[in-house]
Amino acid sequence: MKRSYRSTAGIAVVATLALAGCSGGGDAAVPEESSGPLTLTMSGWNLDTAPEFQTLADAYHEKNPDVTIELKGYDAAEYNTLVTADLAAGSAPDIITQKEIKYVPTFVSGGQLLDVSDVKLSDDISGAKSYEVDGTAYAVPYRGDSWVLYYNKALFDQAGVDYPDGAWTWDDYADAADALAEGLTAAGSPAKAAYLHVWPSPIQGFANAQTDGDILTGDFEFMKPFYERQLALQAAGDQVDYNTATANQLTYQGEFGKQNAAMMIMGTWYTSTLIAQQASGDANTFDWGIAPAPQVSSKTAGLDKTPVTFGAPAGLGINAAIDESKVAAAKDFLAFAAGEEGAQALAAIGVTPALLTDPVVETYFSVDGAPSDDLSKFAFSTHELRLEYPVTDKTAAIQGILGDMHTAIMSGSQSPADAIKEAQDRVANEVGTD
């Protein structure tokens, strides 16, 4: 099927939708070998604010009344540590949600995930290869977020600044931040031009995706301009400084949702949260939209181009210690979650599925409270999606060092040059390079 909505992914695709032995990703009843009601347990995080887990569980149960999916919630910040501990203790759920793909090799090397290569997936899905280790699939993608630019139309109007047009470079973004800061101050608004969350991702993710840099070489000089740009915006007062954000434990939901910032770089998972919080009153009511993330150069910026961004799928794997009688049902659930019906269920609550077909995109933007402008649809569906970090057995260790580098630079305790040099030395001595 030719699709008008594109997600040109470097983390790409596998075969067709249907589960071997079952007639299609949840379309069939649970296989005959499961007799009577059956309960599967599944891990998740932020269960009170992230509706995707319960949505998939309920949608599958509706089609398969004999199967109930019970959720086990974990703290989001410590998710992988806690799940790893439960796997080791033999108390982990049947279905292990993969929050960060960098941990997949660790789970696989520990023999903790089941081979799910026989769960068949649509050709249109993105992220499937990310869960393969030595050609064997250990999870399937159900969600596929990318990083975009959220902007508050009311604050742009108040500042007298034109909305993003889909062709911004990072220099354009910085210029817009300066103009917004000036305009908002003149209008008497306390809002900042932008909010940059404290994670390394909004800086390092774009550096990795939009340049030819490779963290596995141990050379991080390519990140320097990305840090220098954000430090300049911070110094100018265009955005809250890192130390204030960390000391006050600012949340990106609060900063954008309460209109403390006119624009914010963030992953598309925030869409469902913002819609829900505006509906509940936890966020202010205002018009907003999304635009492609700023680009390094005009070569990839514009509605006639394919902007480059980063992201990673979220996936579902199966605990290798699952009771054998539950395996068929667990695989059927994985196929359902990664298939068209699971994608439609997620799109209906504003969550970005890994499977983006025309009907799924239409469902996503028909959600009450979602933006409806063409630029938002373009940003959501048209991009070259690259991984934030490569998936190797060295990634977690290098990423830890890069996290320390990020803190040192953004807090002002070290210059970008000094922090980068120290990180390079640490990787060479502690991890080794390719």
Contact 150, 264 (CB under 8 A): yes
**146-308 sits in which CATH class?**
alpha beta
Q: Which amino acid is at 214?
A: D
| 8 A C-beta contact, residue 119 and residue 140 | yes
Six-digit token string for 59: 């949608």
Q: Is 365:271 a contact under the CB 8 Å cutoff?
A: no
Least confident of 8-22, 93-107, 119-133, 314-328: 8-22
Distance CA 247, CA 410 (A): 13
Highest mean pLDDT among 137-151, 263-277, 347-361: 137-151
**CA 225 to the chain's CA centroid:** 24
Torsions phi, psi for 415 (to 5 deg) = -75, 155
Distances from the Cα of 38 to the Cαs of 14, 22, 113, 269, 318, in angstroms?
29, 17, 21, 31, 16
Structure tokens at 356: 């983006």
- The answer to whether 180 and 263 have CB atoms below 8 angstroms apart is yes
Report the distance separating Cα 110 and Cα 236, nearest Å: 48
CA distance linking residue 250 with residue 198, whole number of Å: 9
For the chain, give every domain's residue range: 8-144+312-380, 146-308
- Residue 269 or 203, more confident: 203
Same topology between domain 8-144+312-380 and domain 146-308: yes
Backbone angles phi, psi at 10, to 5 degrees: -80, -5
Alpha-carbon gap, residue 9 to 227, rounded angstroms: 26
Q: Average pLDDT of 389-408?
A: 93
Q: What is the pLDDT of residue 35?
A: 58
Pick 19 or 410 by higher pLDDT: 410
Tell me the average pLDDT across 113-138: 93
* Lowest pLDDT segment from 113-122, 236-245, 271-280, 290-299: 271-280
Q: Is residue 126 a contact partner of residue 9, using CB atoms and an 8 Å limit?
A: yes
Query: Hunting for tokens 């009771």 — which residue is that?
Result: 323
Tokens of 296: 């390094």
Which residues are registered as beta bridge partners of 315? 98, 141
Nearest CA among 9, 22, 30, 53 for reference residue 119: 22
Which residues, 6 or more positions from 81, have their beta carbon under 8 angstroms from its beta carbon?
none
Closest CA to 95 of 354, 408, 335, 404: 335
Q: Which CATH class is domain 8-144+312-380?
A: alpha beta
When pLDDT is averaged across residues 183-206 and rounded to a whole number, the result is 98
- Range with the poorest average pLDDT among 342-356, 385-399, 404-418: 385-399
